[in-house]
A and B are shown apart, each in its own frame.
Chain A
Amino acid sequence: AQSVTQLGSHVSVSEGALVLLRCNYSSSVPPYLFWYVQYPNQGLQLLLKYTSAATLVKGINGFEAEFKKSETSFHLTKPSAHMSDAAEYFCAGLSTGNQFYFGTGTSLTVIP
């Protein structure tokens, strides 16, 4: 079955520290991978997506993710956390049939 797995349901970082949110995908998931952010009481917003054009993908708000086929990973990073980054983050994959597969989410807390 196609799937994406997010490691760590809760991550805490200090303001200004590196943010690293982990996502691994099953090898059967085609290389359409996404990161979404959900702020409290809101819908999801696209941060970035990988569609095989480049392995390092830059997104909004200073986030980026690197597609590593050898590790079947698509981890999300940001060099310096800001208080406004506190939110829930979802990794997702898209099948060739346009069906989405979401991870279970990682809640990011930023400590002042």
Chain B
Amino acid sequence: EAQVTQNPRYLITVTGKKLTVTCSQNMNHEYMSWYRQDPGLGLRQIYYSMNVEVTDKGDVPEGYKVSRKEKRNFPLILESPSPNQTSLYFCASSRGTPSRYEQYFGPGTRLTVT
């Protein structure tokens, strides 16, 4: 089944403890992206990647890192999480540029930083 998977789905952690949220797609998609969703703010793009070893900052990249060493994986790294990074995170992928190809979203990861 074609899908975007995220792990973990739920995570509660403490301030400053490094964490990684994994994202994997099995559709050989070139474009991958991370978003955070907060009440009243909608979705905001954190980072996106057009292909392996190519990443770009979105609207809110501060406090996050990403890497794209393999086409299928696009992990989101929080080196030193803070409470303001408590949010619902979505990974998404598309076959190519989203202007031409549909973007598929993962199920989301709910992160709480205390």
A interface, CB within 8 angstroms of B: 6, 9, 32, 34, 41-46, 49, 51, 90, 92, 94, 97-105
CB-CB < 8 A to B40: which residues of A? Answer: 9, 104
Which chain B residues numbered 14 to 51 have a C-beta less than 8 Å away from chain A? 31, 33, 35, 40-45, 48, 50
Other A-B pairs beyond A43-B108, A98-B56, A98-B99, 4, CB < 8 Å:
A42-B107, A44-B43, A46-B102, A98-B31
A-B residue pairs, 4 tightest by C-beta:
A43-B105, A104-B42, A102-B43, A102-B42
Please, how many residues of chain B have a CB less than 8 angstroms from a CB on the other chain?
A: 27
Across chains A and B, the number of contacting residue pairs, with CB separation under 8 Å, is 63
B interface, CB within 8 angstroms of A: 4, 31, 33, 35, 40-45, 48, 50, 56, 58-59, 90, 92, 97-100, 102-103, 105-108
